[in-house]
Structure formats: C-alpha cells, structure tokens
Structure 1
Amino acid sequence: MLTQADLKIELDALASPTKAITLSRFFKTGKGEYGEGDRFLGITVPEQRLLAKKFISLSFNEIEKLLKTDIHEYRLTALLILTYQYPKADTFKREEIFKFYLNHTKWINNWDLVDVTCRQILGVHLLHQNRKILHELARSQNLWEQRIAIVSTLEFIKHQQFADTLEIAIILLNHSHDLIHKAVGWMLREVGKQDRQILVGFLDIYCQQMPRTMLRYAIEHFDEPNRKAYLSKPKN
C-alpha cells in the first residue's frame, strides 16, 4: 500500500533547486510577505498532478501529514489528491472530503493552493446546497479563507448562478490585499463572460468603491472606450 512517505520520496526525487529559488520569489516567501515560511522543492504542477493520480488512494490521515508541512509541493499534491478523489467518491465520502477541506484551510495558504482546488471541492459540493459557509469564510479574518470563498463561486458562475459571487464581492469590496482584489475582479469578469448586463449593473453601482486592480480585472474584456469610461470615474 502506498503511503505519504512514498509520495514524499517521489516528490523529493523531482526537486530542482534552481526552480525552487524562482518559485520562492514568485510566491512571495520572504519575511513579511504573504507566503512567508513556505518552502519549495521546485516541482512543476503537471508532475505533481501525475503523482496525485498515482497516490489517489491515500487516506485522510496520510493526506493530513502532507498538508501539515511547510513544503509547498507536499501540500499542493495532497490537495490535488482530494480533487481527484472527490468525483469518484460516493455521497458520504464526498461530504467527508468537503469537511476535511474546510477543517484544513490553515494549510491551504497560498493562492495557487486555493485556486486549483476550491472550486473542484467546495464549489462542486455546494452547487445544489446552502452556501452560507462561503459567506462565513468571506467574513473571516483569514486572507486564504476569503480567497477560497470568492474563487469557489466559479462553479456557480459556470451554471449561470451569480448571486453568491456578487454578494461575496460586496463583502470583500473594501479589502486591503491585492490578492483579494485580483480574485474578486477575476470572478466578476467570469460573471461578465456569462452575462455582460449582470456585470454592468454591478459595476454601475460599485465601480467607484472598487480598488483599481479589482476594477481592471473585472473589465478586462470590455472594449477600450468602456474600460476608459469606468476607469475615469473618481474613486469614492
């Protein structure tokens, strides 16, 4: 039976010190930066995906051991395993994966860890359920839980369900961190791809309250005159 120790051995064998340095800079791991303390081995995401599929049978206990480390690739591969387990699981197991994910947000602590996993687990799980938990995460004081809240709504957007995205965007409208500005703007842009008028209606009310980065992301696919029109409005 494969274990997390076996997975660590295979990941370690793929390590690239040169890539690790580049990734450490890219994911802001310096003192006082959002990824402070995160350590990288320098492994590509496709390589991690292959191993996640190979180790798809790992138990929650084994996955938890991978999550509770400061090695970024151990955590990402652990989370990818969950995203591969979820579609194959029965209803009971899916609920367990959903709860496990929510109980381990402390270790889902960089934007890539959030972005490649939360929709596939939280978004899919909540598509036909009450979404109160996402609104609670949006109101937490944890940057990554807040990003999880908004990015998880991408699954709803793809099913023409926009209310939660817009409500959570309002909760996060005055957030101070650009990682939230970018995530909210990204989700608003996705709403606009599905229904431009919904996005325009939102922007007409809130664009002057939005941080510039959030607004720029939201209107990225607008034509030049419309982009300029929104960006020229003074911020309240």
Structure 2
Amino acid sequence: MTAVTETAAQLRAALAEVADPADAFQLQRFFKTGPGEYGAGDVFIGVRVPVTRSIAKRFATLPLTEIDALLDSPVHEHRLAALVILNGRFAAASKPRTFDDKARAAMVELYLAAVRRGRVNNWDLVDVSAENIIGPWLLDKPRDLLFELADAESLWERRVALLSSFAFIKAGDATTTFELSERLFADRRDLIQKALGWMLREVGKRIDEQLLTDFLDKHAPEMGRTALSYATERLAPAQRVAYRAAR
C-alpha cells in the first residue's frame, strides 16, 4: 500500500475552513501589521493559536519540503503551523530512542534559511520556535551562530539569538544569555528590550537569583528601562527600586 503524503495545500485548506475574518482583523491589530509597525504587511486569515496548534498536530509527518513551502506563505497562520510541526519533528529526532542528528541538522538548516529570508518575522513566530530548535541544537555545540544572529540587521534574527538561549537557561547555563545581553544592551528596540529582560528574569527564576543580581549589580546602569523592568520583576520591591534608580 502506498503511503499517503500530507501536503502544505491540505494544511492551508484545513486552516481556511476555520478562518474568521473578524478574528483576522483583531489579530492584524494585535500583531502590529500597519505601515511602519514591526509586523507591517503581515497577513492573517483569523485562526487563533490553539486552533492552529490543533490543526498542526494532524500534519505531524508533513515533509520538510512542504513545511518550507508553508514558511514561504504570506499568511501568518501558515507559518505558525509550519513552525509548530517543525518543533515536534525536531523534538522527536532528539529523543534517545529516535535520535537522528542528520535529520536535526536538516531541520536547523531549513529553519535558519527561513529566519534569514525574513519568514520568521513576528515575535510569536520567534518565541514558539527558537528555544525549541536552535537552542537544543546548540546545547552541546559552539554558540558562534547566536552571536552572528545577535549582530544581524534584522530585529527578528536578534530576537532569535536571545530566545534560543532559553534552552540553555533551562539546562542551568546562563553564560550565553549574559554574553548576548551585554552585546545587545544598546539595542533599544522594544521587542529586543523585552526579550533581553525576560531571559535575564528567567536566569533568576530557574537557575539562581544571586546570579541575576550579581549581573545586575554590574550592568543595571547601562540597561534600557524596559529590559531592566522585565529583569527585576521577581525581585523584592526594594531591590527593584534600587536597580531602576541606578539607571
């Protein structure tokens, strides 16, 4: 019996069946798709994230070529579904019993190509994928790639660099997050400031609050207001006030 191959066209049709124009309007406003905004020109058909994830699960074996085709779609929900599927594929190839480093490498290559051609181009797309693909891939490898991304002109590549380090934080390692943060202190783009502060906050939450405060003792004066606000959210009120006053 010939195996049935899932296609990008089938997934697009499944999403179209549940699309809602009213939701599309709201999502386009929420994700700042107007002229001059960070998501300018992005297209939504009106499928909420939980529904997109549910449909993506039905296409878990979608070939990489079809995932790549979805990533080239102008429709945001198509790209989100593609990344959800890619996450699952990468996780499956990373498990001890099904470990396949060649497959993992192919997925990383596909993902990076999509990032660099501007297809992972909103904060939700970055946040759903970077820590689940690039982060785990680099856990036991040199991390030069992240510093290349951090130096890129694209806002989204820089955010990918920061969010990829979340995987290291979860593994108990804050060194790369600290190095990336120092490199990006001067970047005052709101979505970088928020990501930077978020990752620092997670260091204190998941590894060691003292590690975070030692870093802030040294660097709080050079941090942006938004990054510092996010980084200190879980600290005692008096500490928060002191660090924010240090700017």
* 14-23 vs 161-170, which moves further: 14-23
Corresponding residue for 2:14? 10
Determine helix, strand or coil for the equivalent of 1:118: helix
1:42-191 equivalent positions in 2, closer than 5 A: 42-89=46-93, 90-105=100-115, 106-191=118-203
Match of 1:26 among 17, 26, 30: 30
**Amino acid across the alignment from 2:183:** I
Question: 1:176 Cα deviation (Å)?
Answer: 2.3
Distance in 1 between residues matched to 2:56 and 2:232, nearest whole Å: 36
Q: Tell me the distance in 2 between the aligned counterparts of 1:127 and 1:52.
A: 27
Residue of structure 2 in register with 1:204 after alignment: 217
Q: CA offsets per residue over residues 87-124 of structure 1, 9 Å max, x none?
A: 22222101111111111102000000000111111111
Secondary structure, aligned partner of 1:41: coil
CA shift, 1:197, in A, is 1.3
Deviation string 1:121-173 (CA, Å, 9 cap, x unpaired) is 11111111111101110011110000000011111001111110000001110
Aligned residues: 234
Following superposition, the deviation at residue 201 of structure 1 comes to 1.2
Task: Output one character per residue of 1:5-40: Cα deviation in whole Å (capped at 9) or x when no partner.
Answer: 011100011111111111111110000000001011
- Normalised to the residue count of structure 2, the TM-score between the two structures is 0.92
Q: Secondary structure at the match of 1:116?
A: helix
TM-score (norm 1): 0.97
Hey, what does 1:213 align to over in structure 2?
Answer: 226
Q: Percent identity?
A: 45
Give how far 1:230 is off. Answer: 1.0
Aligned residue for 1:46, secondary structure, equals: helix
- Rounded to whole Å, the distance in 2 between the matches of 1:87 and 1:33 is 33
Structure 2 portions without partners, runs of 5+: 94-99
| Structure 1 unaligned residues grouped into runs of 5+ | none
What is the Cα-based RMSD across aligned positions, in Å? 0.9
Q: Segments of 4+ in structure 1 off by > 2 A?
A: none
SS of match in other structure, 1:108 = coil
Mapped contact 2:131–2:167 kept (Cα < 8 A): yes
